[in-house]
Copies of this chain bind each other. A is one copy, B any other.
Amino acid sequence: MLDAVLVGTSGTIPLPGRWLSALLVRLGSELLLFDCGEGTQISMRQIGWGFKAISALCLSHLHADHVAGLPGLLLTIGNAGRTEPLAILGPVGTSRAVAGLRTIAPRLPFEVAVLEWTGGEAVAWNGATLSCTPLDHAIPCLGYRLDVPRHPRFDPDAARRLGVPIERWKHLQRGEPVEIDGRTVRPADVLGSARRGLRLGYVTDTRPTVAMPAFFAGADLLVCEGTYGDPADRDNAVENRHLLFSEAAGIARDAGARHLLLTHFSAKMLDPWRHVGHAQAIFPNTSVGRDHLTTTLRFDD
């Protein structure tokens, strides 16, 4: 089970009542944050999932509305008692930006490890896999994908028949062979076929890219920017390198996603839900995000 909460849904400008776009993910005992604009830590305090468990932070890009909250958040994570390392993933330039912002947060009780990605990289996080694809914005920008694997079903009757003592089942469940009286019991002897896991995508800020549908194929949840809802804003979307609602819906449709959640709304769009029809005509299961909206993803059946 994975929980994802919209920390904010505003683009460019933090508004009273609408925090800047960020997404907080809870998986097991760890937290993963996507983006960190000014005020993110305040919204997170309202959400109440805590700070200490944040083990990774993924920055889409280095525009201030996605990263200016970093020094304050790092200090707050430290005040919450974190001593384990924290990974910061982001595009080229992230190390320099983190160093610059840490001018006012030089001392932390935990190590910060920065990974600069260009697209195509992947890293293990908390039993899952975090990977990225390059987006198309005014500066280097990354879209992220989190894949949570589901272990194959374990057949206890088969394990008993093969004489595996209960205390050694965990090895087979992990995919490790076990020696029993000179015989080898392989994981395949007691495990069912592969099962569908969970896939979460996070996309902002960008124009559509050719790679997105394949990269986010079958996503259970695609959190995607929809800076403009009104089709009349097409020129603004192109000029400012953002998406219309209908374009985000096209990406979700082409990816075969299960659910599209729109975020990163232009400050001039105070009523994004009025435009949701433009997306739903293309991808019916589209929702308009709002601050603190929480979505829980569960394995099938």
Knowing A42-B16, A46-B16, say if A103 contacts B100 (CB, 8 Å). yes
Which residues of A68-120 have CB atoms within 8 Å of chain B's CB atoms? 68-69, 71-72, 75-76, 79, 96-97, 99-105
A220 CB within 8 Å of chain B: no
| Residues B45 and A16 in contact, CB atoms below 8 Å apart | yes
A30 to B19, CA, bound (A): 28
| Residues A14 and B72 in contact, CB atoms below 8 Å apart | yes
Return the CB mask of A21-57 against B: 1 if under 8 Å, else 0. Answer: 0000000000000000111011101100000000000
Closest 3 CB pairs of A and B: A100-B103, A100-B100, A38-B72
| Residues B62 and A104 in contact, CB atoms below 8 Å apart | yes
How close is A110's CB to chain B, nearest CB, in angstroms? 16
Q: Which residues of B contact A68 (CB under 8 A)?
A: 38, 68-69, 71-72, 104
| Residues A69 and B38 in contact, CB atoms below 8 Å apart | yes
A227 to B41, CA, bound (A): 21
A: number of interface residues (CB 8 Å): 33
User: What copy number does this chain have within its complex?
Assistant: 2
A63 CB within 8 Å of chain B: yes
A214 CB within 8 Å of chain B: no
Knowing A72-B64, A104-B68, A104-B100, say if A39 contacts B16 (CB, 8 Å). no
Return the CB mask of A262-290 against B: 1 if under 8 Å, else 0. Answer: 00000000000000000000000000000
Residues of A within 8 A of B (CB): 13-16, 37-39, 41-43, 45-46, 62-65, 67-69, 71-72, 75-76, 79, 96-97, 99-105
Q: What are 17 A-to-B residue pairs whose CB atoms are below 8 Å?
A: A13-B79, A14-B42, A14-B72, A16-B46, A37-B72, A38-B41, A39-B39, A63-B104, A64-B104, A65-B72, A67-B104, A68-B68, A68-B72, A68-B104, A101-B101, A101-B103, A101-B104
Tell which of A41, A46, A72 has the most Cβ of chain B within 10 Å.
A72
Tell which of A63, A67, A68, A75 has the most Cβ of chain B within 10 Å.
A68
Q: Which of B15, B64, B72 contacts A75 (CB 8 A)?
A: B64
Q: Which residues of B contact A72 (CB under 8 A)?
A: 14, 37-38, 64-65, 68
A99 to B102, CA, bound (A): 11
Please give me the residue from chain B that is nearest to A76 by CB atom.
B13
A101 to B99, CA, bound (A): 9
